[in-house]
Each structure stands twice: as structure tokens, then as C-alpha cells.
Amino acid sequence: MIKISGAVIEPFDVSLADLATLPRRELTADLHCVAGWSATNLRWEGVAFEIFYRTIIEPSVQPDTSVTHLVFGGLDGHRSVVSIEDALTEDVLIAERLDGRPLDGDHGAPVRLVSPNQYGFVSTKHLWRIELHTAEPTGVHTSPAMRLLKPHPRARVWEEERHRYLPAWSLRPVYRLLIPPIRFLSAHGSRRRRTPSPPP
């Protein structure tokens, strides 16, 4: 169930059965965490967010209202803010499957957002609500890490948009120092991610 609220005529719920009526989309992409690790070659399956937005959400937007930002909320309290332009680009997905299997608890079950051109924190897992806003919302990030880091509002990976105020060149040496420890940690993470469980 995904709850739609904010600049809509009336808040409403979209069930996973509703989602299943929309055309399927498959996408192979990498996921780049802002802290410096990447998971490569992930095969996502789900629904293109643009189609979801145009067919399910947009008909319920309040008349004469211009939606500028969406907030994607996860069941664990994680939230991400995405401009409407970024959300409607073509490789943004509401994903239900990864590498041929339903999403597991680690990677966002039952459904998650996937926006491969933006840093990983945008791709809210365990998606359960989408709020529509008519201006950039403030105070969305409630976790201590996100409040400290002041994430970049667009977070495009290829522009290195990590931080809202600090330019990419000033952060590059810091993140370079982080590569060895993060490589070590994500070696463990990716083993968990990749290794099939042994036969009983």
C-alpha cells in the first residue's frame, strides 16, 4: 500500500494490486551511495515512476496547483525529497523485483523507489507514502546523519551533487580517504548482497 497525500484533492491509497495493472519496466543500473560505495549491474523490475505519476497521481492533483517536489517515505522513517523534474525522468522506477526475485527486507520490500542517476539516499526503500508539495519542503530529513550532511537537493551522481553547500572539489579529498574503509565494509555488504544461501 502506498499512501498519496499533500497537494491532492483527497489523500488516497494505492494498493500493490493497482500497481500490478500498470505496464512493467525493466532497468539495469548501478546504485551509488553518497558515502562512496556502489552496487553495480542491478536488474530492477517494476513500474516507471512517470507512468505511475501520470495515471495514478496526477488526475487527483488539486486544480490550478503546480507540484514542484515529492517526498518519498519509507516504513522505517527514511524520507527523500525529489524535484518533480527529477522524479519524472525516464529511469526512475517503483521497483518490486531485483535480479529476478521479489525485493527482500535488506533492499526495500515490498516496493522501493529507484533513481539510479541520483545518490542512493534518494531511492527510498520500503516505500509507503508519497507526499506532493508545491514548494521545496524543509525539515524532511529527520535522521541525525542526514541532518548533519545537508544533502544536495538534486543529488545527481554525475554532477557529484553530494552536499547542499559544499562544492564537489572540496569534498573529493575527503571521500577519497574514505574509499579504503568503505571498500572493506562494502566487501562484507556485497557478500551478503550477492551470495546465494547454501543448500540446507
Ligand X SMILES: Nc1nc2c(c(=O)[nH]1)N[C@H]1C(S)=C(S)[C@@H](COP(=O)(O)O)O[C@H]1N2
Positions touching ligand X (CB under 6 A) are 31, 33, 39, 74, 76, 78, 106-108, 120-121, 123-126
Q: Which does 74 bind (CB under 5 to 8 A by kind): Mo ion, ligand X, none?
A: ligand X
* 63 or 77: CB nearest ligand X: 77
Q: What's the sign of the alpha-carbon dihedral 74, 77, 78, 83? A: positive
* CB burial of residue 108 (10 Å; 0-12, 13-18, 19+): buried
108 binds Mo ion per the rule CB under 5 A: no
149 binds Mo ion per the rule CB under 5 A: no
- In the complex, minimum distance from the CB of residue 1 to ligand X, in angstroms, rounded to a whole number: 15
Residue with cell 487527483: 60
* 39 or 87: CB nearest ligand X: 39
List 31, 120, 129, 132, residue binding Mo ion (CB under 5 A): 120
Q: Which window, 12-20, 25-33, 47-55, 107-115, contacts Mo ion (CB under 5 A)?
A: 25-33
Residue from 92, 62, 65, 64 nearest 80 by CA: 92
Residue from 46, 38, 54, 66 nearest 132 by CA: 66
33 binds Mo ion per the rule CB under 5 A: yes
Q: Is 40 helix (H, G, I), strand (E, B) or coil?
A: strand
- In the complex, minimum distance from the CB of residue 35 to Mo ion, in angstroms, rounded to a whole number: 6
What does the alpha-carbon distance between residue 143 and residue 179 come to, in Å, rounded to a whole number?
A: 23
Binding site for Mo ion (CB under 5 A): 33, 120-121
